[in-house]
A and B are shown apart, each in its own frame.
Chain A
Amino acid sequence: MDDDMPFDIKQTYLKFLEEDPQLTMPVAAIQSLVALLADAQPKTSAELIEVLQEASQTLKDSVPNSISLSAGSDLFLRFVVRNIHDYSDWEACKRNLVENGRTFAERAKESRSLIARLGLPFVRDNDIILVHGRSRAVHQLLELAASKHVRFQVYVTEARVCAEGQIAAAAFRKLGIPTCMIPDSSVGYVIPKVHKVFLGAEGVAESGGVINQIGSSQVVMLAHQFKKPVFVLAESHKFVRLFPLSSDDLTTETPYTFTTTETEEFDPANGPQIDFTPHKYITALITDLGVLTPSGVSEELIKIWFG
């Protein structure tokens, strides 16, 4: 980093994401804060916390959808606040925070392969699996299952607005998994033939409900109606201290508006990018802490924050 340039938390964050496509947003946020710790020279612990708080707020404000990111930064802040008084020597404390921050980021990356191992028994021969959009955790699980010669087929939704279904489907086919792309509007058509639904997550709310790419909640509700199990694959660092009751409780959204004139061309990308799926529709969450029921999430969160 150039010495003359002031440390830019947003640029650092984006650079981390760009450099490593396997990196998730919360981990990138943690790594950026660790980098900031190494760069900034706070004199006291109060100053350190202030610097970190300010940076994480800047980071949250700088991206349109900050839920996943804030899961990481909040967790790191909590970690710092809790450990800061354990050291008498200030330098040692800072060194330790930087080091621990790095191990934290490393461990977070590893958790995806752990999730794949825990999720493997859920993928069985002759399964027809429905996947909504693109998720690295789901990809890793299906990759592992395919490598173990489990024979299954996958429906991949197009997952508009993000439209990352194409990329996901291409990746599955590359692994030799029989894959079928479907438009989002056909979920109701295929769901009776599906055995289970796998989803990734942007964030897991305190209730065990899931914040994910838009369209997830309607897919899950259809699955629920047809009594198909829904499994959410999420790293525990995606657990957020949020408890929305419905999608419009998510703060980052730009709501749809009603008009009577053709003001602008219809562009679905202007609408919300994520939605919220209430916990009652979710069968289980496959996380690096184990396979949890939705209510198990709040137990883990309470342990992290009060334990």
Chain B
Amino acid sequence: MSKDLTPAQAKALKKQQKQAQRAARKEQGGNVGGAPQASQQQHGSRKHTAVGNVGQSSAPETAAPDRPFAHLDQHKPIVSAADIHPAILNLALQMRRCNVLGSTQRCVAMMEAFSKVIEDYQSPPGTTLGRSLAAHLSRQIEVLKVGRALSVSQGNAIRWLKQHLSAVLDFKDVAAKEELQLAIKSFVRERLEVAAKVIVKSAGTHIRNGDTVLTFGHSSVVYQTLAAARKEGKEFSVICVDTPPLFEGKRSAVELVELEIPTSYILISAVPYLLDTVTTVMVGAHAMVSNGHLYSRVGTSLVAMAAFDRNIPMLVLCETLKFSERIQLDAFSVNEMIPGEGPNSVFYDLTDSKYISKVITEVGALPASSVPVILREYKTQQV
């Protein structure tokens, strides 16, 4: 394969290889601690076997047993340009540092940033906002993507926004700005806020007095459901399951304790031990992929399998904005590295649809196998 490359391509490739090598060495050195020498040697010997694969992946490695995620994109430094809006740059950094975390929160923050971009946008002379904004937005999105790969919800929202741009093609700039900002606001309200309310109502029927709900990490819609049930005066307790390195469950636990809900906080390794007391498992989603599997925070699938083993219902609370047309069979081919957390830390895992009792969305509660039906029905409606 390398024979077919032009000199420029070969040069770029070599540079890329070197960078990846350097990055890998740095990570290993930092995290393995005790045995940097040995791992570097291993690393060096593997390089020879990996050359044939170089063309397809950004890092020059095949998956080795100890580095199964070497093929995933490495995080690049966030570089700004003159036309990048500060709100976008800020969000890209916040996402990279995991200060803005969670599919819903990221999507809302992105839409707010877009609103600011539109507010401050000056269309170049000789063209209108409706015609020139798309390219400008694309450049902003590129920067966001460097910060972190777009979430499924963000991707769907961007697709909607780009479609909606055609509605303001013939508007004057001021009117177009107003219309787009309003549309963004109502999109977020409809697809996330109202959707969450509907989901909360439906999921709430699964919480009864005396129940113990187990939840994993942090999900805004699960939190809202528990809060609503508490407000209705239901007496139940919650087990917050957490896992390194992000420890999002801490946030859940703190929020729930503030509501005076009896809450236990455990690490994922203690799940089987406490599972007998659990009546329902409720988790949020990063995405539901179209073969009915759940793509969510790493650890979810372990919790789901443990619950399935004891016949405990596993509910996924998911707005349809997080439905993806993608078909995914494992968490290796598509995933994302957690920035600064070493070579084996990824954000997501995949939960088989057979472990999911029910997916609760704003258009109803469905078996996981019905995800493609929703996607199809929505698509035919939009056309």
- A residues within 8 Å of B by Cβ? 206-208, 241, 243, 245-246, 249, 279, 294-295, 298-299, 302-303, 305-307
- B residues within 8 Å of A by Cβ? 205-206, 313, 357-358, 363-367, 369-370, 373-374, 377, 381
Q: Quote the shortest CB–CB distance from A211 to chain B (angstroms).
A: 15
The chain A residue sitting closest to B313, CB to CB, is: A245
Q: Quote the shortest CB–CB distance from B364 to chain A (angstroms).
A: 7
Say yes or no: A298 contacts B381, CB within 8 Å.
no
**How far apart sit A295 and B374, CA to CA, in the bound complex (Å)?**
13
Q: Which of A241, A294, A306 contacts B377 (CB 8 A)?
A: A306
Q: Which 8 A-B pairs have the closest CB atoms?
A: A243-B365, A295-B369, A298-B370, A207-B367, A245-B313, A299-B373, A306-B377, A302-B373
The chain B residue sitting closest to A298, CB to CB, is: B370
Q: Which of B366, B369, B374 contacts A243 (CB 8 A)?
A: B366
The chain A residue sitting closest to B292, CB to CB, is: A295
Most buried by A among B313, B363, B370, B374: B370
Say yes or no: B377 contacts A302, CB within 8 Å.
yes
Q: Which of A208, A241, A245 contacts B357 (CB 8 A)?
A: A245
Say yes or no: A241 contacts B206, CB within 8 Å.
no
For the A-B complex, the count of residue pairs with Cβ-Cβ distances under 8 Å equals 46
Give the chain B neighbours of A243 by CB distance below 8 A.
Answer: 358, 364-367
Q: Quote the shortest CB–CB distance from A278 to chain B (angstroms).
A: 9
Say yes or no: B377 contacts A307, CB within 8 Å.
yes
Classify the interface of chain A: helix, strand, loop or mixed.
helix
Give the chain A neighbours of B357 by CB distance below 8 A.
Answer: 245
**How far apart sit A306 and B375, CA to CA, in the bound complex (Å)?**
12
Most buried by A among B206, B358, B365, B367: B367
**How far apart sit A298 and B363, CA to CA, in the bound complex (Å)?**
12
Say yes or no: B206 contacts A245, CB within 8 Å.
yes
The chain A residue sitting closest to B315, CB to CB, is: A245
Q: Which of B364, B365, B369 contacts A305 (CB 8 A)?
A: B364
**How far apart sit A307 and B377, CA to CA, in the bound complex (Å)?**
7
Say yes or no: A207 contacts B358, CB within 8 Å.
yes
Give the chain A neighbours of B373 by CB distance below 8 A.
Answer: 298-299, 302
Contact A245-B358, Cβ < 8 Å, known A302-B374, A303-B377:
yes
Give the chain B neighbours of A306 by CB distance below 8 A.
Answer: 363, 377, 381
Give the chain B neighbours of A303 by CB distance below 8 A.
Answer: 377
17 contacts between A and B (CB under 8 A): A206-B364, A206-B367, A243-B365, A243-B366, A243-B367, A245-B206, A245-B358, A294-B367, A298-B370, A299-B370, A302-B363, A302-B370, A302-B374, A303-B377, A306-B377, A306-B381, A307-B377
The chain B residue sitting closest to A248, CB to CB, is: B208
**How far apart sit A206 and B363, CA to CA, in the bound complex (Å)?**
12
**How far apart sit A243 and B370, CA to CA, in the bound complex (Å)?**
13
The chain A residue sitting closest to B377, CB to CB, is: A306
The chain B residue sitting closest to A301, CB to CB, is: B364
Say yes or no: A295 contacts B370, CB within 8 Å.
yes
The chain A residue sitting closest to B369, CB to CB, is: A295
Give the chain A neighbours of B381 by CB distance below 8 A.
Answer: 306
**How far apart sit A226 and B370, CA to CA, in the bound complex (Å)?**
28
Q: Which of A246, A279, A305, A307 contacts B367 (CB 8 A)?
A: A279
Give the chain A neighbours of B366 by CB distance below 8 A.
Answer: 206-207, 243, 298, 302
**How far apart sit A305 and B205, CA to CA, in the bound complex (Å)?**
21
Q: Quote the shortest CB–CB distance from B316 to chain A (angstroms).
A: 13
**How far apart sit A298 and B313, CA to CA, in the bound complex (Å)?**
19
Most buried by B among A243, A249, A294: A243
